[in-house]
Structures are given as C-alpha cells and as structure tokens.
Structure 1
Amino acid sequence: TTGIDWSQFNIAINGILDQQNNIYPTNPAVTYEFTGQAGKYSNLATTVINATFNMTGLLNFLKQSGDVYTLSNPKILTLNNQPAIISIGETLNYNVATNVVITASTAGLAEKTYTPGSVFVGILLNITPEITKENDIILRINPSISELRDPEQASYFGDAGFREIAPDTKEKKLSSVVKVKDGSTLILGGLISNTKNFTINGVPILKDIPLFGNLFGSKKRQNQRFELIFVIRPKVIENGTTEGIGLKDLGFKDLPNHE
C-alpha cells in the first residue's frame, strides 16, 4: 500500500531477489554505479546505471511489489535541445454552449452556439535532451498521468448526442533534470495512481428487486494501485552517422530492414 521500496533496488538490478532479500546474480562480474536518490517508499526515485543494463533484473525486482505490465516500448529521435513527446491514452472531445439565443423565429426555443474542446487522458512524457561539451547528456524530463475522476464520464453524452461539458480529470506530474553518460540507463518512478472500481453482476431485472436482489446478483468493489516506471536510455548520434541508421539500430531487432 506504500508503493515500491526503492531502497532495495540496488541489490536486485542484476539478479533474482528472494523472500529473504538475498540476491542471486546472473552475472557476478558486472558491477553497477548508482547515482541519484532512491529513498524507501519515496514518491520520486531516480537511479542512473552507468553499465550494461539488465531488464530482467529490474522486472524481478518490481514483481516483488505486484504484477508488472509493459505499456509501451517506443524509440524516438530528436535534435539537441528539442523536446520529444510520447503520449499513451485517448482524447475526449466535447462541445460547450457559448451562446444561447431565444427569438420569435424559433418559437421560443433556445438556439445554441457550440465551441469544441478536448481533454487528453492518459500518460504523457516530455523529454528535452542537451548534449554537453564532454558528450554527456542533460535530460529535462516531465512525465504526467491524468485520468477521469468518474470513469462513467468516458461514455456520457447529453441530450444533444454529444458531451456538452468538459469531463473532470485528475492529474499527477513531476519534473526532473538529470545528467547521464551517453548510453546510460535512467529509471524514473514515483507516479502512483489509485483506481476504484464498482461492478454489479447478476440476472437482469431480478438483481434489482429490493431485499431479494442479492439472491440473483453480486456486487464487487476493487481498489487498484499502480506505480508508473519509466526506463530511459539516451544515446548520442554523431553528425554524419544518421544516414546509415535504421530501425534495427534503434532497437527494433525483429523488424525487416526496408532501407
């Protein structure tokens, strides 16, 4: 209920963590350098690994706190000091009545003028890299997660056949500036989201009968807690080398080369 215990992260990055917090390394010869803060149950944990990164070790560590899912695995190119944006979610459109006119020609009926709007709900990651003279990389990272306050608003439409008000949303975001070596791996965590679901199952009509409805149906309340983890590996591409770079060089090893 308190989130991931990041103080245990350094012993699980390259092996399997057992119930006694013993580590079984997959490659004992590899050592790792950790920088940044990773406090116990912290709201923000930033760790930089200046070595070959083992994703299996990270997944084994995260599984100690619950189920682990991969939401996205994007690869992007951007110029120096230019932002790169990754978004995962959906855009909810709505129309707001900005002008209501009642005239004799409309027989007393309201004539509305609408202005369209939209709200993004999901995960947004904004990264701006800056390359130093020493070929290090300064990353300005701004991740955010937004969701509906009431999940039913996603499918709510008014009498006009469309959403007439902007849905209520809640947002969590953080901002971090880190300096890493070329090819290092950055792990950023701390965005925690709580979701409450209430579902009713049963026989139609019969489950709604007062007093006896519970005999024909069931009610389920479920609380879920998610922590969003970003694994970022920046790589500097020197001038004159971009022409020969293909999808396989960016990590898409299973895709055919169409160059």
Structure 2
Amino acid sequence: MGAQEVLLEVKFAEVDRSAVTQLGVNLFDLGQGNTIGSFQTGQFGQVSVTRPAPTVTQSVGSNGVNVTTVTPTVPTANITDYLNLFISRTDVPIGAVIKALQQKNLLQILAEPNLIAVNGKEASFLAGGEFPFPVVQPGQGFTAVTIQFREFGVKLKFTPVIMPNNNIHLQVVPEVSQLDFTNALTISGFTIPALSTRRAQTEFELQDGQSFVIAGLMDNRVTNIVSKMPGLGDIPILGNFFKSKNLQKSNAELMVLCTVHRVSPSTQAPSTPKDPQPFLDKD
C-alpha cells in the first residue's frame, strides 16, 4: 500500500470591495447556516441584522375548527468583519458562490492550482517570477556586489497531516505579492522595486471534502493619473490649463478558497509506452 496523499484545490481570488460596498453585497453570510465555523479578529465591528419574530395568526375555518397559521422568518444574519476565516459545509458548493460573483464582475480569479502532497510532506506553488537585486558585501579594501533573486507573484505552501480520526490537519501559507515601483530604491544607478505583499499563515483541522476561506487581506491604492497636451502642458503655471488630473482609489480584498480531499494511491503500476495497447486504451 502506497503513502497516503492529500489533494488541495485552491482558488486565489481578488474582490473589488468598492463595487461590493456600492451593491450592498455580503459575500459569505455566516447567519444562514452556510458555514459550520468561523474565526474573527474583532478589530472591526460586526453588524447583525435581526429579522422580526414569526407571525402567528389564529382563525376559524369554514368547518368551525380553529386554524393556527405560522409565518416563518429569515434567521438573524451576521455580517462578517474584514479579516476572518470560516469553514463551509461539505454540501455547500463553494464553486457556485465563486461563479455567481464572477458573473457580477465582483471577483477575479488570480490562480487555480491543485496540489497533491504526501502525508506529512510540504507542497508549494508559484505563479509569478523572480526579480534581481544587488547585495553589497563589504570586504577588506574592496566592496563586492552580488546579484540575488527574489520571488513574487501568487505563492502557496501547505503541509497536510492525516489524523487518527481520518480528519486532515493543514498548515497553509498563502501569499500574493507584486512589484511596487512607487517605493523603489536607487542604488548605484539601479532601480530596486519594493514588494507589496499580502500573506497569511494558519493551521486547522478539516474533514474530507470540506472547504475553508481566508479573507480580509486588503490592498488599498491611490493612483494619480495626469493627462496633458504635449509641450503646452510643460509650461510653468500656464501649463496647468492644458493638463488634467484624475485621482483613482481602489480597494481590493484577497480571498483564498481551498477544498481538501483525501487521495487513495493507485495500487496498479501505470502503463508505459512499452505496452502500446494498454497505454492507448487507458483513457
């Protein structure tokens, strides 16, 4: 029997919080029974929307029998704060929620990696690149400059451990970073960009097929766009009449949605090109 394995289906999504606020959308309502557990920081106030109690009406029917009518109401809805971690039920398709948000142009998928890791071993994923930066190392009478590389983009590391009760203990480290030339440094004529990073690290225990979501990794940006007429816009003082400025604010939230599955290793060796017919008929 081979080693036990765990499959982690991951979606890195970015939500436009400005559009969500304008539409009054609550992405994941914890009060409707869609989740089985949650963790909140308490740094932001939580809003509760309480519906009226059920309406009870009593009347006398045509046959003289008393009839009691109970009109149910929607349960209390708790609006989550800006930094939270919650776990969904196995019978709630989290992919349907993502699809609905995409159709409303409220959510953009950044990456969708599927990772398989052996029990107790780490698996990692990177969709991005590496940028060079010089490192000055002083010596005796001279200074040496070496070039090192640093990763950026969408990264994920996770380590699964299958527990004796068949639950899956996960240690997950998601990260999204991008080059930030606004805070760049200039060293010896070289421009070194900074990194704008959103990272989280958490551990928890799930059942096979359960999903969890890490939310609240915010990215607030202010962009100043200047448009001007060539030549005339560069004239001191008078050039202001030939240019325009547009200040744009963006408020994006990073969400990491994961579903965990146990994978049974195959006991049959895979066919190879040395066995032409079984290899071609495998699929």
Q: TM-score, normalised by structure 1?
A: 0.66
Q: 1:116 to 1:258 in 2, by over 3 A?
A: farther
Structure 1 unaligned regions, length at least 5? 12-30, 103-110, 245-256
One-letter amino acid of the counterpart of residue 73, structure 1 = E
Per-residue deviation, residues 202-247 of structure 1 (Å, max 9, x unmatched): 2223222222223322222222111111111111111335867xxx
Q: 1:10 to 1:82 in 2, by over 3 A?
A: farther
CA RMSD of aligned residues (A): 3.6
**CA–CA separation in structure 1 for the residues paired with 2:85 and 2:251:** 17
Q: 1:167 to 1:150 in 2, by over 3 A?
A: closer
2:205 is matched with 179
2:54 is matched with none
1:126 is matched with 157
Q: Which residues in structure 2 correspond to 1:65-214 (within 5 Å)?
A: 67-99=106-138, 113-148=144-179, 150-151=181-182, 153=184, 159=189, 162-163=190-191, 166-214=192-240
Structure 2 unaligned regions, length at least 5? 1-16, 41-45, 47-79, 271-280
1:216 matched to 2:216? The reply is: no
Identical aligned pairs, as a percentage? Answer: 18
What's the secondary structure of 2:266's corresponding residue?
Answer: coil
Q: TM-score, normalised by structure 2?
A: 0.61
Asked which structure has the greater CA Rg, the reply is 2
- Whose RCO is larger (CA < 8 A, sep 6+)? 2
One-letter amino acid of the counterpart of residue 81, structure 1 = G
User: Across the two proteins, how many residue pairs are aligned to each other?
Assistant: 214
One-letter amino acid of the counterpart of residue 72, structure 1 = A
**CA–CA separation in structure 1 for the residues paired with 2:163 and 2:211:** 17
One-letter amino acid of the counterpart of residue 141, structure 1 = V
**CA–CA separation in structure 1 for the residues paired with 2:109 and 2:222:** 21
What's the secondary structure of 2:221's corresponding residue?
Answer: strand
